[in-house]
Structure 1
């Protein structure tokens, strides 16, 4: 998934879900600050994170630890 698509889809998904960057980070296994930087274009997502984001946006549950 290209970086600009990741950013826009991630930002829209976070908004639609009504969650914070911190909550998104917890679900993706990274810091909320990193998610915010990726979503706002200040950083590019690593290949691993881009794959996790793609899975998450397509309905996969990347959350680990049990609670939804």
Structure 2
């Protein structure tokens, strides 16, 4: 699974960082999503990442 984040769409709700803090964080200046992992997401985190994608109110993150 690969994840993408669009900071231009992110509204800084923080649901992703609350759901999977191993993968997502928020920037200190704007509060927008920051990806902590580059490349493939570990298999054991895939379900949590999918949940974070569905919880994102702005649709700023995606996983494929």
Does TM-score exceed 0.5, indicating one fold?
no
Q: State the structure with bigger RCO (CA 8 A, min sep 6), 1 or 2.
A: 2
Q: Which has the higher strand share?
A: 2
Write 1 or 2 for the structure with the bigger share of helix. 1
TM (norm. structure 1) is 0.39
